């Protein structure tokens, strides 16, 4: 349990605020930087709504950069601590060689189709459920999948905020 509270964030200077929340949106501290001005926040819901609004108000290219900041699922490369924990909760750190290869093929197909990695709030999902979602979503239109991926990023951010902040 974190000792970070909404009250403490409301009192934080910009640098401290960004230091604590800059990674809520994967490798995108600009979201926290822009949300800081919306203080004071009444709740985690209020803070999340502010951060979500910052993303939604960004131009498409900036949102595409945000999507591209996420790692491929099942990838065995350097990731943020939050991504490592989230993928581990879904068993993606223990894939069999066959599962790993299947994820790599799907990741490549998905990235080729959309220009960004497959993004899903995977906490406590199974590898089979994630793979099924990948197989379904790779058939989406570009616009539909862009929207779906942004919505998943917001879900991930919400879960990260809940984890970091004392209720």
Asked if residue 153 lies in contact with residue 70, where contact means CB atoms within 8 angstroms, the answer is yes
Catalytic (active site) residue 70: yes
Helix (H, G, I), strand (E, B) or coil at 37: helix
Q: Are 104 and 131 in contact (CB under 8 A)?
A: no
Which two three-digit tokens encode residue 80? 């943020």
Contact 115, 64 (CB under 8 A): yes
Catalytic residue among 27, 48, 70, 154: 70
Tokens of 145: 């999948």
How far is Cα 71 from Cα 166, in angstroms, rounded to an integer? 27
Per the CB < 8 A criterion, the answer to whether 103 and 95 are in contact is yes
Residue ranges of alpha helices (H) inside the chain are 6-11, 14-21, 30-35, 44-57, 60-68, 81-89, 97-114, 127-137, 142-164
- Could you give the residue numbers annotated as active site? 70
């Amino acid at each position: 349990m974190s000792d970070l509270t909404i009250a403490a964030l409301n009192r934080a200077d910009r640098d401290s605020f960004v230091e604590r929340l800059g990674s809520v949106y994967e490798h995108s501290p600009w979201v926290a930087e822009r949300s800081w001005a919306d203080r004071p926040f009444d709740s985690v819901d209020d803070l999340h709504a502010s951060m979500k609004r910052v993303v939604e108000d960004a131009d498409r290219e900036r949102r595409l950069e945000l999507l591209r900041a996420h790692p491929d699922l099942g990838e065995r490369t350097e990731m943020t601590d939050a991504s490592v924990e989230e993928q581990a909760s879904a068993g993606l750190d223990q894939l069999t060689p066959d599962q790993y290869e299947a994820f790599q093929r799907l990741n490549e197909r998905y990235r080729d189709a959309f220009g960004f990695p497959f993004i899903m709030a995977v906490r406590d999902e199974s590898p089979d459920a994630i793979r099924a979602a990948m197989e379904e979503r790779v058939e989406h239109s570009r616009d539909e999948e862009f929207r779906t991926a942004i919505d998943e990023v917001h879900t991930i951010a919400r879960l990260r905020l809940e984890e970091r902040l004392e209720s």
